[in-house]
Structure 1
Amino acid sequence: MGISVILVLISTIIILTSIIYVGTRKSKKQFHYVYMMLVSSVLIWCIGALGEVATEDVYHFDPFIQTCNYFGIALVSVFILLLGVVFTHTRIVITSRFALLFILPIGSAIAVATNERHHLFMKVFCIIIKDAVLGPLMWAHYIYCYIFIAIGMSYLIKYAVNNSGLFSKQAMTLVAGMCTPLAINVLTSFGIISGGCYSTIPGIVIMILLIGIATLKLDMFNIVPIALQKIVDHISDGFIVIDENRKIIDSNKAAQLWLSDKHEIRRNQDFKEFMDSLKIENLDTSKLLDYIKMSFEKKDSISFDTLIKFENGICYFNIEVTPMFSKNKYIGTIILYRNTTKYIENLQMIKEYQLLLENNLEKVTRDKQELLIRSAIMEKMSKTDALTDMYNHRTFQEYFDTIIDQASRADNRFQLALLDIDNFKKINDTFGHSVGDIILKRISSIIKTMVTVDDISARYGGEEFALILTNKTLEQSLALLESIRKAIQDESHIELNSNVTVSVGVHEYYKGEPKEELFNKADEALYKAKHSGKNKIVASTVYNLGL
């Protein structure tokens, strides 16, 4: 028992040192406090273990010692779970539901303390586990402890892998920390190796120390890799990074979206095999590999244009190949895919218009030219509102149908927003319709100026405007609408000696949603905005903005 006492004492000293080290840090986060509670739980376990190894009779059951022992074990598993959750989410809001996690440790403590009455925790008690006869509550105790520890460590390992890679120091340190106590604990629990709780305490202490090293010393708190990954995932250009052996080591979401929605781009996958597996017409893998070789030989970037036929149409790409060197040693290549389809289509459209104009200038007489101009003016007038020069109700419906059709086929996002001028009838009744027309022109001008080229804006009728916002997330559209709402609110009107406000209702389209339901949801949101104080934005979700 002498070695056992030494192991437990060393573990206790290490735990106390860890508490002091973390506790004296100047800037502590929620993670640090959970970590201190974790090591404090091990301290409770150590108290029970010290009492155990001091007991001469291994069959003597002391309720206090055993309660400290198993309650400490249970708390360790709970706090490892909480440690993983807190670390992954940076910070969590403590609510009553987290108290449910402590029901099991408390239940274990009660079961241990009262075991002599029911023997459901241990049918026959012995400090040496292999000589004890375990009860059903003891098995339940083991199961939830292992599950909690596994979940908590999985959170930490997943975070480390996503942040720094599978074979990073952080990930490997955490894997080693997870394997050490589990191996010892499983072998001890099933009687494969002898020893009581003092055999597993050093393993748990090693795990906690390795967690501390990975999180506090190896920069798992460093958000730069995560921030960089967020940036590259939002870049519209796709890229794939390969190493010197042409194995894929990184990529972003744009590359996955453009190259394949059926074949996942996986790390350590052979680049040529992946490209060949796509089976995309006009995608010449050999040509791309030749450019990779040329860029390596030149030690400079090389780009080329290509046309690729996908199932849903043709896309034009500019592909740039850039070799990477470290201390003159080749370490890999970045392959950048720029989708130039819109640019090429716009160039073709401009050329067609130029050709049409040249032909018209040559063939058409002055009278016919005037007729063309008049026809163009009439077409514009039929599509726009005469007062505000925005699209009218009919044109809006045409674009609305087209965008819904495209979105249903391509699973694109867009939002429908309805804007209504607050108290506009009062303006007309008080100042006259001529002043009301001036207000409509000003507000429509603000809307037209602030929407993007991807959006459709129209005067839907009276004092109501409709906007279709495309190529944006709901949050981005809400931010744009808030900017419009504030700009309208801040605009001065000398005719009124007061400002004018608008209420806005927004709804985001989901695939397969009928047009009528989409419009009704936006209209219901507008109704809520109008009847809950006006001058605000209400979305058909939990988002609310405005005054």
Structure 2
Amino acid sequence: MLAKISIPLFLLMLSALSIVITLIYVLRTKGRSQLKTIFCVDLLCVLVICLGVIFQDILSKNFNWNPWNFEKFIYIGTCFLPVAIFFTGLIFAKKKITFKKRYLLFFIVPALSLIVLWTNDYHHLFYKIYSYLYLSDCKVGPYMIIHNIYSYTLLFLGVIQMVNVASKNSGFFSKQTLLIVVGISIPLITNILGTIKIISMTVYITPISFAFTMLFFALSIFKFKFLGVAPVALQTIVNRISDSYLVLNENLLITDFNSTFLKTFNLSASDIREKNILEFLSTHKQYDMNLPKLENSLNRVKHSSETIVFEQHFKKINKYFTVEINNILVKGNSLGILMLFKDITQHKLDMQALKDNQDILIERERLASLGQLIGGIAHNLKSPIMSISGATEGLIDLIKEYEESIVDKDVTIDDHLAIASDMKDWISKIKSYLEYMSDIITAVKGQAVALSENTVDSFTVEELTKRVDILMKHELKKALITLNLDLKVPTSLMIHGNINGLVQVINNMISNAIQAYKGKEGQTIDLIITQEKNDVIVSVRDYAGGLPKEVQEKLFKEMITTKGKDGTGIGLFMSYSNVRAHFNGDITYSTEEGKGTIFNIILPQ
């Protein structure tokens, strides 16, 4: 008659059953990973121990089989379980390891322990006296001490690595890791207490304690997705973002996401958890995702540190997103893929509203700030004002001299004529200064009007060149530089746009060309007007040696002038903005070191 099943044996059978169920569940989960593989090894080691003790108990009690023979089988799991738990902790901490030959050293002691155990009858190095039911009655040999120290060391190291991971995580992940650490600690603590004889150790203690470990592991798996745990680096990132995100494992299964994602896409957690992102989107065509593009992007980031960004319109929710895909790498190991979804719907709507005129509106917005800079033109008027003031003093002196000469009989007609000639000279000088001031004021006024008006004028090439000549004559004359006018179009050719704005741009370019000569006299600047198809091209060329790289980097980017009264203060940046705003045109340039530079103003007609 078979012996009655004891409570410890019944618990042990339940333990074995729970391990088998857990193992089947893990094996049936999608995807492959090192963490999944090593966890299966843990389960197999514990299963070997449990089955060995179950058969040892039943067969030795009912059929008088030698329990020592079962011990040899049980210790296969007992010897290699500490090594498996150590590597579980290592992979749990690093998420992925590269196999190295030195890792084989960890298996030397377990293999040697099995050999010593299996040959114990010849040397008694493992057990001097063996007891089946009560391990406290056993007398261990000297090698058993070595085996225990090595096993407990590996168990401690495995637990420490997991505790270290737990300390770096928070909230959801801390609960998950805490279950794992507590589960591993139960057999560790019971075995230590039994080894130092604080508690009475029976053959059932170790497998039952590991049953609790599997219970905690199972809870961690089913509730907290142990095999899909997000890495520390990834958790740090997602804790700091407010946009929607998805975390994919190496098999492209969705392992984590935030509530923003679920709310944005009207989904529940069960809809997407552990689903392949490509398969999910292929069966949910209403989102209208560009699957080939997404698949290509995911494959590219899998094997690199590249960040891929693209825009995507999800028609079902009628929203636009910038999708950013990153490979999360830690010390060369890929921990998964992070997909960020930044909602740019409002931005896209704004851009759509400004589709036809966005460039012009943006440039006009920039030009609005130029009004604040126009006040600086007052500094450019100081020189002519001071000159006029000086000329006025000269006229006052001549007037005084003339008044005195009226009653002076010694003053001849020629003297009167000389005084009149001096007055004419001063008046001529005042007139030239006033003309210069008038030109400046006209230019500034024209520019100010050009900034605010929304009308398009038409003017001839002759009108354009005449204004440029008037405004630049003084500056060119002062610099002793000649402006060569090369017209390859009829002077009557009509140009559509704002003449004041175009004059400002051309003058600014000529002023820049003058400055490029750095005071060298006798140089030339070419003003060339040509026509190509429907474009009128106004070019300004100098032969001053070309633009340095550092200057090229600042072109069209700064609203500054370095020419004092000789410049309009627009700058190439504002010149470019002016052409864009008033002509819907463009400015290009070509420069050659040691030779010169040519700027081309392209005006569509």
* Structure whose alpha-carbon radius of gyration is higher: 2
Shorter-chain TM range is 0.3 to 0.5
With structure 1 as the length reference, what TM-score do the two structures score? Answer: 0.41
